[in-house]
């Protein structure tokens, strides 16, 4: 009997989990399906889910109109670059705040988070002028700098919470054995925090990949990443939903695949320290 | 000796490469059909001008507007040519942000540009932007539904006729709605339509002293009429419908009439996209007998930002893209129906174009009927038919549009929406210094 209940419970949980999963994934699935429709079928009502004439013409059209590879490379450089630089800065600062907190550490952390609360558009003009004067407009370097700065508070916060879970005694022991500060961080702390660092890395790559405000406003032709690639297919006057869907699918595919392969790491990192 | 020869050779090769290096023009543009077609045809330009290369930045209209405004206001210099609308040209030209187009070449034929379009781009007798395509608004209707209901659409209908016909055609059981109109809030969405329509009802945004006029009976008539008509004969959820949503409804056979941009004509008559392609008729935007038709005027134009380092090359490109030869080039490659409309008188005199584009005459008549300098029945202190060409209008238009969209959705009454529009416009105009 007990076994029966448990099977039933399992069934309910499975059904609920699948329903939620499909609900969350549905917009992406819909975009994917629409990208294989003709423009007329894309707006047809009622819409057809699977029984339509599949076509790849949108992908050819998108490919012939824009340089996908250049946008893709820009996205890769900008998101990986900004995340790696961010990690290099954030690991020592999170270490300092986690293991040698001062009276003001909490305030500093709050202050860092508060920079995320300001609407980006509020500083658009000063940032634009700074970029213009330093010749950083429409360069990958400029985008890497701005995305590093934007994501730094999140990286530090995430690493700080992971580091807090690591017993300080282990680091003390390393110190007792004569490890220098750098060695302590590189050889003792970092390997222990790998799941946390990995999930921070992945999450920030995703955030940087999707960042659309600064990447659109500070780039033009040369450094424009995939966000600009998608924006070039949206139009208030004309229905290009199928082409827009094809462009969106091409833009999200790499990050989706990356997330797919690293989901174990991502979930492990995100729930790291959740149960004490 | 060998080394010297090698070095000399290398140096001269580098020098030659430097000389031959092409000038690159970065062009910011919108993702509209005609613009995309132009991008595909630019080989014709670059083969004649091998020293000029083109780099395109295509963005969605609102993103583009924000992007180019930031760049030009800060003199960022990211673009050599910008695609801007009729709304921006007079404001930017007055700010000194645009260069006058003085050297478009002897065979450009400026006088061939449609006078209504040209006047909107000319400030102090100087042309500040060259029109790439122009549009007005008109009625698109389903001939089959009209025939079934025993109605005949006049070439120049009145609003009373349109409302009557819309109610007769509506068959909600079969998802056929008499009329589809914009309801989505935005200065370029519902307010473009409502401002133009209000002109036909004798309303205006401001009096001669910049005092907002939403408390006047003309606005109440116009908005009442619109809300009632849409409730009786419009599609459900109309308050979130913009151009694209209505285009989709019309193309799938759910609208009896649609009053919107003339550029929609080529979409709804295209059998590849539209299920009603062979059943569409056209008429002028309706009036109420007061002497103004509710049809707007818009053009997408190419302009050169002040401070540009590549003026000569940019002018060469603009002259090519907006010149007469470009129209012939599109006609040769893609057929006359795909030629960018609404910029040149000679196009409308061309019998081949008239034959290929059944909407040609109506487009021309609509553009000619629009008068941006005297848009309303009563005198106004501003320029613009479906907008007010002042920098504050984007924010104002959208805020007022939200009130009117809420009235359409039934979240507030017409009176409340107008009172709220009046209040917020008065506040903003006082703050901006128009009202002393």
Residue B14 in any domain: the answer is no
Mean pLDDT, chain B, rounded, equals 91
Bridge partner residues of B297 (DSSP): B136
Q: Which H or E run contains A250?
A: helix A241-261
Residue B147 in any domain: the answer is yes
pLDDT digits (tens, 9 = 90+) for B139-156: 999 999 999 999 999 989
pLDDT in the model for residue B369: 84
Which chain B residues are within 8 Å of A222, Cβ to Cβ?
A: 55
Residue A190 in any domain: the answer is yes
Which chain B residues are within 8 Å of A224, Cβ to Cβ?
A: 57
Residues B158 and B45 in one domain: no
For residue B315, what is the domain's CATH number?
A: 3.40.190.10
Residues B163 and B228 in one domain: yes
pLDDT in the model for residue B211: 96
Residue B413 in any domain: the answer is yes
Residues with Cβ < 8 Å from A14, sequence gap 6 or more? none
Residue A210: how many other CB atoms lie within 10 Å: 15
pLDDT at B49 over 80: yes
pLDDT at B41 over 80: yes
pLDDT in the model for residue B18: 47
Residues B29 and B158 in one domain: no
In this prediction, residues B396-418 reach a mean pLDDT of: 96
pLDDT at B8 over 60: no
Nearest-Cα residue of chain B relative to residue A222:
B55
Residue A227 in any domain: the answer is yes
Model ipTM value: 0.80
Q: B62 pLDDT band (50/70/90 cuts)?
A: confident
Which chain A residues are within 8 Å of B71, Cβ to Cβ?
A: 128
* Nearest to B324, CA basis, from B304, B299, B349, B358: B349
Residues B104 and B202 in one domain: no
Give the domain extent around A115: 67-232
Vertex A251 angle, CA A245 and A252, to 5°: 90
Nearest-Cα residue of chain B relative to residue A234:
B60
Last residue in a domain, options B328, B356, B384? B356
**How much is the pTM?**
0.84
In this prediction, residues A55-66 reach a mean pLDDT of: 88
* Nearest to B117, CA basis, from B107, B132, B99: B132
Residue A90 in any domain: the answer is yes
Distance CA B257, CA B252 (A): 13
Residue B403 in any domain: the answer is yes
User: Smallest CA–CA separation between B241 and chain A, in Å?
Assistant: 11
In this prediction, residues A48-74 reach a mean pLDDT of: 88
Residues in chain A: 276
User: Smallest CA–CA separation between A80 and chain B, in Å?
Assistant: 24
In this prediction, residues B312-316 reach a mean pLDDT of: 95
pLDDT digits (tens, 9 = 90+) for A108-145: 999 998 988 889 989 999 999 999 999 999 999 999 99
Chain A residues within 8 angstroms (CB to CB) of chain B: 38-40, 43-45, 65-66, 124-125, 128-129, 132, 137-138, 216-217, 220-222, 224, 228, 231-240
Residues B131 and B185 in one domain: no
Residues B232 and B150 in one domain: yes
Report helix, strand or coil for A252: helix
Residue A19, judged by CB atoms within 10 A of its CB (0-12, 13-18, 19+), counts as exposed
Residue A107 in any domain: the answer is yes
Residue A142 in any domain: the answer is yes
Q: How many domains does chain A have?
A: 1
Residue B302 in any domain: the answer is yes
Q: CB of B301 within 8 A of CB of B84?
A: yes
Residues B89 and B194 in one domain: no
Higher-confidence residue of A200 and A263: namely: A200
Q: How many domains does chain B have?
A: 2
Residue B367 in any domain: the answer is no
Residues B320 and B392 in one domain: no
Residue B113 in any domain: the answer is yes
Residues B187 and B276 in one domain: yes
Which chain B residues are within 8 Å of A53, Cβ to Cβ?
A: none
In this prediction, residues B376-401 reach a mean pLDDT of: 93
Q: Which of A40, A236, A242, A243 should be substituted to probe chain B, the one whose Cβ sees the most B Cβ atoms within 10 Å?
A: A236
Helix axes A57-65, A241-261, angle to 10 degrees: 90
Residue A136 in any domain: the answer is yes
pLDDT in the model for residue B1: 46
In this prediction, residues B366-379 reach a mean pLDDT of: 89
pLDDT in the model for residue B359: 82
Residues B251 and B400 in one domain: yes
For residue A95, what is the domain's CATH number?
A: 1.10.3720.10
Residue B4 in any domain: the answer is no
pLDDT in the model for residue B293: 86
Contact A125 B74 (CB under 8 A): yes
- The proportion of chain B whose per-residue pLDDT surpasses 90, expressed as a percent, equals 71
Lowest average pLDDT, out of B5-9, B201-205, B243-247, B425-429, goes to B5-9
Contact B60 A44 (CB under 8 A): no
pLDDT at A92 over 50: yes
User: Smallest CA–CA separation between A154 and chain B, in Å?
Assistant: 27
pLDDT at B17 over 60: no
pLDDT in the model for residue B11: 52
In this prediction, residues A180-208 reach a mean pLDDT of: 88
pLDDT at B126 over 70: yes
**DSSP code at position A43:** T
Which chain A residues are within 8 Å of B274, Cβ to Cβ?
A: 40
Residue A239 in any domain: the answer is no
Residues B173 and B219 in one domain: yes
Last residue in a domain, options B329, B356, B383? B356
Give the domain extent around B267: 136-296+373-431
Residues B331 and B391 in one domain: no
């Amino acid at each position: 009997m007990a076994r029966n209940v448990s099977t039933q419970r399992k069934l309910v949980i499975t059904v609920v989990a699948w329903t939620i999963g499909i609900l969350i994934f549905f917009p992406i699935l819909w975009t994917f399906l629409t990208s294989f429709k003709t423009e007329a079928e894309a707006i047809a009502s009622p819409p057809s889910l699977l029984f339509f004439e599949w076509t790849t013409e949108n992908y050819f059209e998108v490919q012939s109109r824009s340089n996908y590879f250049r946008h893709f490379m820009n996205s890769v450089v900008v998101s990986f670059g900004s995340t790696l630089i961010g990690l290099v800065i954030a690991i020592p600062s999170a270490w300092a705040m986690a293991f040698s907190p001062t009276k003001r550490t909490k305030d500093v952390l709050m202050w860092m988070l508060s920079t995320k609360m300001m609407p980006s558009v509020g500083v658009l003009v000063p940032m634009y002028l700074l970029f213009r004067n330093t010749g950083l407009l429409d360069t990958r370097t400029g985008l890497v700098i701005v995305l590093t700065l934007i994501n730094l508070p999140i990286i530090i916060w995430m690493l700080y919470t992971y580091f807090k879970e690591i017993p300080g005694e282990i680091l003390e022991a390393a110190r007792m054995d004569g490890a220098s500060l750098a060695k302590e961080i590189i050889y003792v702390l970092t390997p222990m925090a790998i799941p946390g660092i990995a999930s921070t890395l992945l999450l920030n790559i995703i955030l940087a990949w999707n960042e659309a405000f600064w990447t659109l406003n500070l780039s033009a032709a040369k450094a424009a990443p995939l966000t600009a690639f998608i924006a070039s297919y949206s139009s208030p006057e004309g229905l290009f939903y199928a082409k827009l869907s094809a462009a969106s699918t091409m833009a999200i595919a790499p990050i989706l695949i990356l997330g797919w392969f690293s989901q174990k790491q991502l979930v492990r990192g995100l729930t790291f320290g959740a149960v004490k | 000796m060998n080394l010297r020869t090698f070095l000399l050779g290398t140096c001269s090769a580098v020098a030659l490469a430097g000389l031959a290096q092409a000038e690159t023009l970065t062009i910011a543009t919108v993702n509209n059909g005609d613009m995309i077609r132009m991008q595909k045809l630019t080989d014709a330009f670059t083969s004649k001008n091998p020293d000029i290369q083109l780099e395109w930045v295509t963005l969605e209209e609102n993103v583009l507007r924000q992007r180019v405004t930031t760049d030009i206001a800060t003199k960022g210099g990211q673009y050599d040519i910008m695609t801007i609308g009729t709304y921006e040209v007079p404001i930017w030209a007055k700010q000194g942000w645009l260069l006058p187009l003085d050297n478009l070449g002897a065979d450009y034929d400026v006088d061939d540009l449609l006078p209504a379009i040209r006047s909107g781009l000319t400030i102090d007798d100087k042309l500040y932007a060259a029109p790439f395509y122009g549009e007005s608004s008109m009625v698109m209707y389903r001939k089959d539904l009209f025939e079934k209901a025993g109605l005949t659409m006049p070439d120049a209908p009145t609003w009373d006729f349109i409302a009557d016909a819309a109610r007769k055609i509506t068959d909600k059981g079969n998802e056929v709605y008499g009329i589809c109109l914009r309801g989505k809030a935005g200065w370029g969405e519902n307010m473009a339509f409502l401002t133009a329509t209000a002109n036909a009802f004798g309303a205006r945004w401001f009096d001669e002293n910049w005092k907002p006029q939403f408390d006047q009976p003309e606005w109440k008539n116009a908005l009442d009429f619109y809300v009632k008509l849409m409730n009786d004969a419009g599609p459900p959820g109309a308050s979130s419908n913009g151009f694209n949503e209505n285009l989709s409804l019309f193309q799938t056979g759910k609208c009896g009439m649609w009053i919107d941009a003339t550029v929609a004509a080529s979409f709804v008559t295209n059998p590849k996209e539209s299920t009603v392609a062979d059943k569409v008729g056209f008429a002028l935007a309706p009036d109420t007998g007061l002497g103004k038709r509710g049809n707007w005027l818009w053009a997408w134009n190419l302009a050169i930002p002040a401070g540009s380092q590549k003026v000569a090359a940019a002018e060469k490109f603009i002259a090519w893209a907006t010149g007469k030869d470009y129209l012939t080039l599109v006609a040769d490659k893609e057929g006359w129906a795909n030629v960018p409309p609404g910029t040149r008188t000679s196009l409308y005199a061309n019998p081949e174009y008239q034959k290929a584009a059944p909407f040609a005459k109506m487009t021309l008549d609509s553009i000619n009927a629009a008068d941006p300098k005297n848009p309303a029945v009563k005198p106004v202190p501003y320029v613009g038919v479906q907008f007010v060409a002042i920098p504050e209008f984007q924010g104002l238009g959208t805020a007022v549009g939200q009130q009117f969209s809420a009235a359409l959705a039934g979240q507030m009454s017409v009176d409340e929406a107008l009172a709220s529009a009046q209040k917020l416009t008065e506040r903003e105009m006082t703050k901006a210094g128009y009202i002393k």
